[in-house]
Copies of this chain bind each other. A is one copy, B any other.
């Protein structure tokens, strides 16, 4: 994997989300059909019939693979959150807190631009998860926040960063990247990687001592 010199792997930005781990192919078609349907109409307005027909299947065949529409949302949400955490972890590779933050914000922003459809479903449909599933996803969300809070804390310790409210600033840094999924339009906007670099600059300025 080519390295851009800022802790950002090319593959982490440009490769599409792949669902090869979802087997068999019918289950995979249902899952990608559900992402499209949830993104277009929202979870509540999507029927299992919609999802099945996007996968070229009957509603009854859907239940062979997934016990409920909520289970599909959970699989999507789990995968999306795990992918986002992995992107952050891979990018957390620089020698200094500033390099690490640059790499993380850059990759996290580019990911939310590249994968804005799944990111929207993942971010805006949390309330539709069952309490048990929401708790599982919340654990990953806390790990994502902890990654960013950790690098900010390291920068404060070594004097690179000056941050009064570590938790509030962590949330703001994450917000910058996550909100990209709301407005990103691949036709009209900057390429994901350029956007990532701009946002990394802005985040560094937000916290620099």
Contact = CB atoms under 8 A, between A and B. Distances in A.
Contacts of A41: 42, 44-45
Interface of A: 41-45, 123-124, 164-165, 168-169, 171-172, 175-176, 178-180, 182-183, 190, 195, 198-199, 201-202, 205-208
Most chain B Cβ neighbours within 10 Å, of A44, A202, A207 = A202
This chain's copy number in the assembly: 2
A179 B41 CA distance: 21
A124 B182 contact: yes
A168 B183 contact: no
A144 to B, nearest CB: 12
Majority DSSP secondary structure for residues of A touching B: helix
Contacts of A43: 42, 45
7 contacts: A42-B44, A44-B44, A165-B198, A168-B190, A175-B176, A178-B179, A205-B208
Contact of A182 (B123, B169, B176): B123
A80 to B, nearest CB: 15
Given A44-B45, A178-B182, 18 more contacts: A41-B42, A41-B45, A42-B42, A42-B43, A42-B44, A43-B45, A123-B182, A124-B124, A168-B198, A171-B183, A172-B198, A175-B175, A175-B180, A175-B182, A176-B176, A178-B179, A205-B206, A206-B206
Contacts of A183: 171, 175
A75 B71 CA distance: 35
A183 B127 CA distance: 11
A37 to B, nearest CB: 10
Contacts of A124: 124, 182
A-B CB proximity, top 9 nearest: A44-B45, A42-B42, A45-B45, A179-B179, A175-B179, A41-B44, A202-B206, A168-B198, A205-B206
A165 B201 CA distance: 11
